[in-house]
Amino acid sequence: MLSVCETFSSIQGESTYAGLPCFFIRLAGCSGCCSYCDTEYAKTPGVERAISELLAAARNSGLKLVEVTGGEPMEQRETPQLCRLLLDDGFEVLLETNGAIPLDAVPAGVHRIVDCKLPSSGMAERNCVHNYDLLGKDDEVKFVVGSRADLEYAVNVAEKYRLAAKGCALLVSPVWGKVELPALAQWVLESGAPLRMQLQMHKIIWGDRRGV
């Protein structure tokens, strides 16, 4: 059983999969307290649902791309099993995690999207740097930037752990409503680092609301 906040079909708003139709399984619960969290509602207890029920919901969506997100999905020990069964059922699986919990149990074949928390989040000390050793060309590291200092911190992390050399996509997002897009674009250009700026496409389409 897993504690689930919501499931829904939408356009993937972030990552290198942005723009693709995707079925989302948002698990409930997160012990983090990021300053910019846009899914506070997912921190509260969810509804207990069997993995078989979640697999059926994914099949019924008619989509082949599934993202397991949260909350923080890795705070539930059954999450790797859910990912494995989704893979076995022929789905392409994305796992978005805040990066605070070791990912050793995540099965091969899952595309891991790992947040690297930056200073303005208030959670930078929780980054599990061991995870960077596990990442490869099919994985992504996401930096949510709230200031120029955050961007510089992100560049330093990418260089220290040789993330680009591992083939990881290095994604840079603005804190919604805090960083102007032209400013972030200029910081990325000036950094000279192999960063990919991304926007939260779902918020541009539907606004800052849940279930999209």
Q: How far apart are CA 78 and CA 74, in angstroms?
A: 8
Per-residue pLDDT tens over the stretch 104-152? 999 999 999 999 999 999 888 999 999 999 999 999 999 999 999 999 9
In DSSP terms, 7 is beta-bridged to 25
Per-residue model confidence as pLDDT tens digits over 44-55: 889 999 999 999
Domains of the chain and CATH, by start: 2-206 (3.20.20.70)
Query: What is the number of helices (H) and of strands (E) in the chain?
Result: 5, 9
Could you give the angle at which helices 79-88 and 51-61 cross, rounded to 10 degrees?
A: 40
Task: Specify the residue for token string 């996401």.
Answer: 142
CA distance 168 to 141: 7
Return the closest-CA partner of residue 153 out of 198, 121, 178, 180.
121
- Quote the CA–CA distance of 71 and 183 in Å, as a whole number: 29
Q: Rounded to whole angstroms, what are the CA distances from 109 to 71, 85, 118, 142, 161? A: 22, 11, 27, 19, 22
Give this prediction's pTM. Answer: 0.94
